Amino acid sequence: MANPRHAGRKRKLNAGDGDQAYQRRQTKEFKKLQKGLKEVQQTAPSYLDAHGKWLWRQIVPELKKIGNVKWLDEPNIIALCSAYSDFRTASEEIAANGPYAMFLAKDGAYHQDKSRANPMFAVKNTAERTMKTLSADLGMSFNARAAANIESEHYHAAEPKPSNPLKIVKFNV
């Protein structure tokens, strides 16, 4: 038997008047539950390095604007910042030492082994995949925001309802 709470379509987080009654109920329940949760801390955890702290300072204010990310999501944000730090460190290592693995030759100097890729490519690729997954989980991609239908509270009030677009192109409407 399928789990009824997770079966079917994804939940719509910001249902409006034109949506189904169950979607409006889910939206109301979701917002009620969100209000009782602690906010994400503004300052980055001390154990993140400079790259991780920089990303924290960039994304946390933006995530707070969306309003769906709370303290419970901090481990995902921390993991994203850590993966970003790994990505930046690996990118810098590749830029400094080139695309090939280094080896210590008999003459005491380091040389590139053109038969092997720099191992930092593996670190970089893993960090990219992790960042992509965590970003989507946190609603930081266009597709994630569109799937969750995340809009600001004032979006519908500020924008007038568009008239029939067919009138603009004069299709006898």
pLDDT in tens, 68-105: 788 888 999 999 999 999 999 999 999 998 888 888 88
Claim: this prediction has a pTM higher than 0.75: no
Q: Does 159 map to a domain?
A: no
Q: Does 166 map to a domain?
A: no
Quick one: tokens of 104?
């210590």
Q: Does 15 map to a domain?
A: no
Q: Does 155 map to a domain?
A: no
DSSP bridge pairs for 113: 101
Domain that holds residue 93: 40-149
Least confident interval from 24-38, 56-70, 91-105, 153-167: 153-167
Cα 169 to Cα 87: distance, rounded to the nearest angstrom:
48
Q: Does 80 map to a domain?
A: yes
Average pLDDT of the chain is 78
Q: How many domains does the chain have?
A: 1
Q: Does 45 map to a domain?
A: yes
Which residue did the predictor score with more confidence, 42 or 3? 42
